[in-house]
Amino acid sequence: MGLERDSGMMADQINAEKMEALRIRYRDGSPEDRVLVNEMLGPVEIEFADIRMVVDPRDNYTETCMWLEGYPPELKSLLALVRLVEDRNVLVLDVGANCGAFTVPLALASGAGSRVIAFEPNPIMIGRLGLNVQLNNLTEMVRIEGCALSDRDGEAVLNFKGHNYGQASLKDVTGRMRNGGVLVPTRMLSDFTEASNNHDYTVLKIDVEGAEELVLNSILDDAEAGGWLPDAILIEVRHSQDWQTDLCAKIMARGFTKTMQAEGNALYVQKTKSA
């Protein structure tokens, strides 16, 4: 028995050394080296802060970064939200949940009675998200909605960009960068906001590759007449030059203050609800 255990530990060490060698080759190598490394890779389990996640570094920038570094790429943004939800009874609306890089840590950090609704329309990423939710025993806390949020209930084409599933978007992708698409159901954010009545605090995280207007405009317009708003919004602003309206100014006009900007994201918190 001892010999078998020692052999298993040695095999794990060898596998870890091989994986680290692949990481170094990927980081420091040429584009050709990266292609060769990708051909040798498959799903890999990583662990950070007592969180287990399976990532596939071959076709998703977020998962590639997690495989290389051992933690999510937008760590400052994630930690800012962790501080807001920690030990609170919260509702988290994760719009563009990807593999669960925000969904899983926020669910684990939240207090008793909390709920995370994770929106992910890409059929491939839904499977990866579900696996990571299950790995962390969060199946009774996290609800996965396999739809895209938009300005209407219906359906739309989710466009794939290059070889990065994390950049799939309802926005058009033109030229050689477009790598197909898939027809997905669309819902409006207002279909889900009533759930916040069961919680003390609501966080909206939205990263939909430039389609943020489709999700937020109606909510922000309705709020002018006293409609629903979350307590905090983390929004990707990397594609703000493509917006037709200034969403950030609109958010601030609804009583939010910007508390952080980093990693292509901005965090807005209602002035009366600052942590």
Instruction: For tokens 């100014």, name the residue.
Output: 249
d(CA 95, CA 126): 13
d(CA 265, CA 186): 24
Q: Are 94 and 103 in contact (CB under 8 A)?
A: yes
Q: Which helix (H) or strand (E) is 219 found in, with range?
A: helix 212-223
Strands 232-236 and 256-262: unpaired
Strands 265-270 and 256-262: antiparallel
Q: Are 265 and 236 in contact (CB under 8 A)?
A: yes
Please give the model's pTM, rounded to 2 decimal places: 0.91
Q: Give the pLDDT of residue 166.
A: 85
Six-digit token string for 129: 């998200």
Instruction: For tokens 């980093």, name the residue.
Output: 262
Q: For residue 101, which of 121, 124, 120, 87 has the smallest C-alpha distance?
A: 120
Q: Give the pLDDT of residue 273.
A: 64
Q: Are 270 and 253 in contact (CB under 8 A)?
A: no
**What are the structural domain ranges in the chain?**
2-58, 75-273
d(CA 78, CA 48): 13
Q: CB neighbours (10 Å) of residue 270? A: 18
* Burial of residue 61 (number of CB atoms within 10 Å: 0-12, 13-18, 19+): middle
Digit-by-digit pLDDT tens for the chain (275 residues) are 554 555 454 455 558 888 899 999 999 999 999 989 988 999 999 999 999 999 999 999 999 999 999 999 999 999 999 999 999 999 999 999 999 999 999 999 999 999 999 999 999 999 999 999 999 999 999 999 999 999 999 999 999 887 888 888 888 877 777 778 899 999 999 999 999 999 999 999 999 988 999 999 999 999 988 999 999 999 999 989 989 999 999 999 999 999 999 999 999 999 876 55
**Check whether domain 75-273 has CATH 3.40.50.150, yes or no:** yes
**Sequence-ordered list of residues with C-beta below 8 angstroms from that of 99, at least 6 positions apart, any chain:** 53, 55, 60, 62, 63, 66, 125, 128, 129, 132
Q: Are 261 and 223 in contact (CB under 8 A)?
A: no
| Dihedral angle, C-alpha 272, 221, 143, 170, nearest 10 ° | -130
